[in-house]
Structure 1
Amino acid sequence: MKGIKFFWILFVLFLTNQQLIAQIDSIHNPVLPGFNPDPCIVNVNDDYYIVTSSFEWFPGIPIYHSKDLINWNQIGHVLTRKSQLDMRGIGDSDGIFAPSITYHKGLYYVIFTTVQDGVNWSLKGYPNYIVTARDPKGPWSEPVLVNSLGFDPFLFIDDNEEAYVLFRTFDHRPGKPASAGIGMHSIDLKTFQPIGEPKLIYTGWNRNSAEGPKLLKKDGYYYLFTAEGGTSYEHYEAVARSKSIWGEYERSPQIFYTTRGDSSSSIQKAGHGTVFSTPNGEWYTTHLGSRPLSSLGACPLGRETFIQKVRWNAGAWPVLDNTTGFPEEAVVAPVKATGNKREKELYTFFDSFDSKKIDVSFQTLREPWDKSWLNLERKKGTLALKGRRALGSRFDQSLVVRRLTSLTQTYETALEFDPKDFRHLAGLACYYDTKHFFSLGLTVDDHGDRQLVLTGVDKTYKQLAFKGLEGSEAKVRLKVSFSNKHFQFYFSTKEGEWDKIGPEIQSSILSDDYTDGFTGAMVGLFSQDMLYEREWAYFDYLKVY
């Protein structure tokens, strides 16, 4: 009997150990949930750094760090000052496109495009800049203009110290292809000034769609990786190679990876990444992908960051290291992975606003925050927001948000606000862009009586619900809960008692697919004063669960 009991104890210990091994040895995707597209990674010794696109959101270019590819922490942003990035008035889903990070001899380089509006894609503004830092946490240098040839730039430094900039090129002339493919020119690594003329080096499999170029040198070949097929469900990553950096590039006989053709996959729109090796010689790739609400449906979380394991086949081409060829939710981690992914930290958050510094995960629109309108010291233990322009403006919006990171997630806050006019409004907002957002705010009616108003903009503005507030309770609690295809607003004037306000709203309205945008759903706090721009709202906390 004792022998049987001892056997079961050993068996349970074995299973527990195997579960721990499985957990430690797995990268769980997405590694960066929510709006984190176009991931570019660099490996320096035992450290990995990822930068992603930020579009119209400020600060620009979030930067994340990991020791094992499993656990990731945001350590800051690359562009934190107005002198580095001024986006006031910039269009929805314009701004920072596809930054790339490179390391060389103690210096980190980030090259990026600030996309500006134009008549069409070939006539938009595409100034490309480089910034540098000794420490990825910053501070980063002032930007140096490199060219204005197109977006998705990449800086490649060869073994002989010669440097090159790659980019998606455009041609605005009638009768010419609007985007013929990938261009490149040499660059002086000290001054960042171009050397010689730009040349077209690759047209891609699908003419007019090759973008996101990344260059890797391995075993005498230059491998050129490109994202093609657009950014939606036909997206894929291609690879070509050449013995000469200028080409001609030979295309791989197969697509590197994609999720098109597999509508059952939980990961869709895969492509646009960076292939890299670990210190132990293992190979991986980052890539963007989206998790739809339904098969090939809308994706409110936007384009997220994933990692896949890579191997090199007999023909010396990179392929995904699995049996399907499709990206997977869990992949084998590097041999020196250190521990379980901190899942809870990716999907939950609490800030009591007791610090004098705003949390690194918060974003504002188009401009840096300053104490004149976002203040953590005005009233102790609160985040104070001075009312400014309406949420639909592209100037001076008092809005501070975080990425939605799960299709089932709740945001909650407590608000103290003394509105005196219907033009005063403060509360909780679910935001995609200036033409797609919903907000629950505290205001007053024409008689000066306090009321909550639920408003929505789905191309046109609508007031969806009103609720008069009785009593003298100064503090109003607000929350919004996402439940896959819908989200619902709530309010409370008595702690622990929540009431619904307004209808369930379709989550799909806050998606790339619905808006034709490139970002993702954001949720947070706002304040408007369309009278004199001087009324302050005070938020006790922000809780995400």
Structure 2
Amino acid sequence: MKIENPILPGFNPDPSIVRVGGDYYIATSTFEWFPGVQIHHSRDLKHWRLVTRPLDRAAQLDMRGNPDSGGVWAPCLSHADGQFWLIYTDVKRRDGAWKDSHNYLVTAPAIEGPWSDPVYLNSSGFDPSLFHDADGRKWLLNMIWNHNRTGGARFGGIVIQEYSVAETRLVGEIRNIYRGTDHKLTEGPHLYRRDGWYYLLTAEGGTGYDHAATMARSRDLFGPYEIDPAKHVLTSKDTDPGHLLQRAGHADIVETEAGEHFMVHLCSRPLDGTRKAGTGAGIHSDDVRRSPLGRETSIQRLVWEEGQFPRLAHDGPAPAAEIEGPQLPEHPFDPTPSRRTFDEALPPEFQWLRTPEPARLFSLTDRPGALRLFGRESPGSAFEHALVARRQEHLRYMAETEIDVAPGDYQHFAGLVAWYGRNKFHYLAVTADEDGRRVLTVYSCAADWPDARIDYPVTPLPLPDGPLRLGLDVDGAALTFRYTTEGGEWADLGVTLDQSAISDEAGNGPGNNFTGAFVGMCAHDTSGRGRPADFLSFTYEAHHG
């Protein structure tokens, strides 16, 4: 069985993997998107389906006011004592010398829940993980943040402290067990017990193009830890820029029932080449690699001989685009339907931003068969932003939605959006002009950092009353919008926008932006009246060839 990478396409970074019997689960970061943490399930390590997002209520997670790329960082999923354990960080501040990163624990008897209210752990750093030792004791690891230093030196090492199940809190001494290598930016710890050794896997080099996974080991839990002579078990930093999987790092390891070892890790797939000036309005024209799909999850086969450090099975530390899978029968799942309607529940691939009070943003009952979005704050809001979207999973795709909205004035607007964050989006919006006539327009914010300048690339088009269909097409770095009235033909708006700006690297660069491109439906009403827009369907399809 061959496995093609990535196994979780689109924004699915910082994977944590666990096996329970014949079932495999991967938890990934969701940052400011709600509900928090994506957990996918597989029986063969090749085919995966989303099964739950466990942080789904205010008691567990409230991200209103969190910055872009704040929120849920690097969850750790484990299973012990007959239950699942999920550790996660909620990052409230991420810029400058200080970080406010609060770490919590929730548990559940089954992966679908019910998941408990959280136990607060600490706020000393991010990327926490929970290690269950053979004697039953439990240990929390996280990187520690040193605001008195600069640059990579702020990553002060990996600290460990015991977690008391009986007292539901951390107890005992805090020990700094590992300072990392000269590659710096040491984070993302995972600890394993094997052959009388404690193996400590960390991420290093930042989550840009120098990212890496590094291994060290010790006979004693508290060290000292000796660094793998090869240093990096996984990295793309020395590969050709054309290598498919870049930015590889932040990894975790799982062992199959047959004793095979596999490593899951984040990576990105930059757009092929760059587009030069003159190939279309707004197209990015320098030579910076850009990854609209964000950081994805891939998998590598390991060879881990007794008493030795693990190695990728195909030799060298660079990730492979295709690997030999485990000795397991294939177990595919039904594909996600391309066209979604809104008859009962929100389709599972959709999320919204920050708030644990979705009823303030949308309703599936006010108009049966429609998703009604209530116009809330502006596209730059970090509090109540009525945007419901799904991940972009392909470099070439189309999306369409049917919208029914009667904007009363120009402060009320709604439509179809390609979204990364408050400084990176392209928005096809139905609104009104100053005379109250319904029009179609485009708002574009192509990572004009830090000003977030909005461009208006089309002259507003008059629209008749009634439902509309809005569409977009993405081909690598190029995005085009189209629309049609009821019973009419599709009309292209005649402008090409820079989809490469909807990426980690655009703006202030990789290592500062951590999510990925989404596409979805949104409504805004900057008058504060909460006027609605109804969406009757949504379609997402990959373009092949």
Q: Which runs of 5+ in 1 are unaligned?
A: 1-24
Q: Does residue 303 of the first structure (1) align with residue 295 of the second (2)?
A: yes
Q: What is residue 320 of structure 2 aligned with on the other side?
A: 328
Asked if the contact 1:206–1:229 (Cα under 8 Å) also holds between the matched residues in 2, the reply is no
Q: What is residue 351 of structure 1 aligned with on the other side?
A: 340
Superposed, 1:28-177 pairs within 5 Å as 28-117=4-93, 120-121=96-97, 123-173=98-148, 177=153
Distance 2:113 2:529 in 1: 34
Asked if the contact 1:454–1:501 (Cα under 8 Å) also holds between the matched residues in 2, the reply is no
Which one-letter code corresponds to 2:128 in the other structure?
P
User: 1:505: how far off?
Assistant: 1.2
Q: What is residue 523 of structure 2 aligned with on the other side?
A: 527
Superposed, 1:496-511 pairs within 5 Å as 497-511=489-503
User: 1:111: how far off?
Assistant: 0.5
Which one-letter code corresponds to 2:522 in the other structure?
F
Instruction: Describe the shift of the 1:291–1:118 C-alpha distance in structure 2 as closer, same or farther (beyond 3 A).
Output: closer
User: 1:169: how far off?
Assistant: 0.7
Asked if the contact 2:375–2:533 (Cα under 8 Å) also holds between the matched residues in 1, the reply is yes
Q: Does residue 272 of the first structure (1) align with residue 265 of the second (2)?
A: no
Query: Tell me, what secondary structure is at the counterpart of 2:505?
Result: helix
Asked if the contact 2:195–2:306 (Cα under 8 Å) also holds between the matched residues in 1, the reply is no
Query: Tell me, what secondary structure is at the counterpart of 1:186?
Result: strand
Asked if the contact 2:49–2:333 (Cα under 8 Å) also holds between the matched residues in 1, the reply is no
Counterpart pick for 1:373 among 352, 361, 376: 361
Instruction: Describe the shift of the 1:528–1:119 C-alpha distance in structure 2 as closer, same or farther (beyond 3 A).
Output: closer
What do residues 469-515 of structure 1 show as CA deviations (whole Å, max 9, x unaligned)?
Answer: 3544x011101111011111111114462111252111221111113
Superposed, 1:154-303 pairs within 5 Å as 154-173=129-148, 177-206=153-182, 208-254=184-230, 255-263=232-240, 264-294=242-272, 297-303=289-295
Which one-letter code corresponds to 2:456 in the other structure?
Q
What do residues 255-301 of structure 1 show as CA deviations (whole Å, max 9, x unaligned)?
Answer: 10111111231000001111110011110011000000035710010
Asked if the contact 1:389–1:533 (Cα under 8 Å) also holds between the matched residues in 2, the reply is no
Point out the structure with the larger helix share. Answer: 1
User: 1:200: how far off?
Assistant: 0.9
Asked if the contact 1:417–1:538 (Cα under 8 Å) also holds between the matched residues in 2, the reply is yes
Counterpart pick for 1:466 among 455, 459, 469: 459
Asked if the contact 1:178–1:208 (Cα under 8 Å) also holds between the matched residues in 2, the reply is no
Which one-letter code corresponds to 1:374 in the other structure?
F
Which one-letter code corresponds to 1:500 in the other structure?
D
Distance 1:495 1:282 in 2: 57
Which one-letter code corresponds to 1:194 in the other structure?
L
Query: Tell me, what secondary structure is at the counterpart of 1:463?
Result: coil
Distance 2:469 2:2 in 1: 39
Q: Which runs of 5+ in 2 are unaligned?
A: 274-287, 447-451
User: 1:315: how far off?
Assistant: 6.1
User: 1:153: how far off?
Assistant: 0.3
Q: What is residue 280 of structure 2 aligned with on the other side?
A: none
Distance 1:46 1:118 in 2: 38
Bigger shift: 459-468 or 221-230? 459-468
Instruction: Describe the shift of the 1:386–1:470 C-alpha distance in structure 2 as closer, same or farther (beyond 3 A).
Output: closer
Asked if the contact 2:155–2:187 (Cα under 8 Å) also holds between the matched residues in 1, the reply is no
Distance 1:519 1:298 in 2: 13
Normalized against structure 1, the TM-score is what? 0.91
Asked if the contact 1:432–1:521 (Cα under 8 Å) also holds between the matched residues in 2, the reply is yes
Asked if the contact 1:236–1:270 (Cα under 8 Å) also holds between the matched residues in 2, the reply is yes
Bigger shift: 229-238 or 453-462? 453-462
User: 1:193: how far off?
Assistant: 1.4
Query: Tell me, what secondary structure is at the counterpart of 1:328?
Result: coil
Q: Does residue 390 of the first structure (1) align with residue 378 of the second (2)?
A: yes
Asked if the contact 1:28–1:341 (Cα under 8 Å) also holds between the matched residues in 2, the reply is no
User: 1:28: how far off?
Assistant: 1.7
Equivalent pairs: percent with the same residue?
Answer: 37
What do residues 336-385 of structure 1 show as CA deviations (whole Å, max 9, x unaligned)?
Answer: 1324577x64xx63211112x11221111111353343111111211111
Which one-letter code corresponds to 2:135 in the other structure?
N
Q: What is residue 431 of structure 1 aligned with on the other side?
A: 419
Query: Tell me, what secondary structure is at the counterpart of 2:501?
Result: helix
Asked if the contact 2:192–2:199 (Cα under 8 Å) also holds between the matched residues in 1, the reply is yes
What do residues 423-464 of structure 1 show as CA deviations (whole Å, max 9, x unaligned)?
Answer: 110100111111211111111112222110100123211222
Normalized against structure 2, the TM-score is what? 0.91
Query: Tell me, what secondary structure is at the counterpart of 1:371?
Result: helix
Counterpart pick for 2:310 among 299, 311, 318: 318
What do residues 25-74 of structure 1 show as CA deviations (whole Å, max 9, x unaligned)?
Answer: 11221111100000000000001111101111110001111111111110
Distance 2:528 2:145 in 1: 44
What do residues 202-236 of structure 1 show as CA deviations (whole Å, max 9, x unaligned)?
Answer: 11113641100000111111100011011011011
For this pair of structures, how many residues does the alignment match?
A: 515
User: 1:118: how far off?
Assistant: 5.9
Distance 2:145 2:437 in 1: 56
Q: Does residue 443 of the first structure (1) align with residue 419 of the second (2)?
A: no
What do residues 386-427 of structure 1 show as CA deviations (whole Å, max 9, x unaligned)?
Answer: 111111111211110001101101110011001110111010
Asked if the contact 1:233–1:259 (Cα under 8 Å) also holds between the matched residues in 2, the reply is yes
Which one-letter code corresponds to 1:417 in the other structure?
V
Query: Tell me, what secondary structure is at the counterpart of 1:96?
Result: strand
User: 1:120: how far off?
Assistant: 2.3
Q: Does residue 493 of the first structure (1) align with residue 485 of the second (2)?
A: yes
What do residues 103-145 of structure 1 show as CA deviations (whole Å, max 9, x unaligned)?
Answer: 1021100011111216624x21121100000011122111111
Instruction: Describe the shift of the 1:511–1:481 C-alpha distance in structure 2 as closer, same or farther (beyond 3 A).
Output: same
Distance 1:65 1:369 in 2: 27
Distance 1:65 1:174 in 2: 40
Higher-Rg member (1/2): 1
Asked if the contact 2:6–2:299 (Cα under 8 Å) also holds between the matched residues in 1, the reply is yes
Which one-letter code corresponds to 2:526 in the other structure?
M
Query: Tell me, what secondary structure is at the counterpart of 2:93?
Result: coil
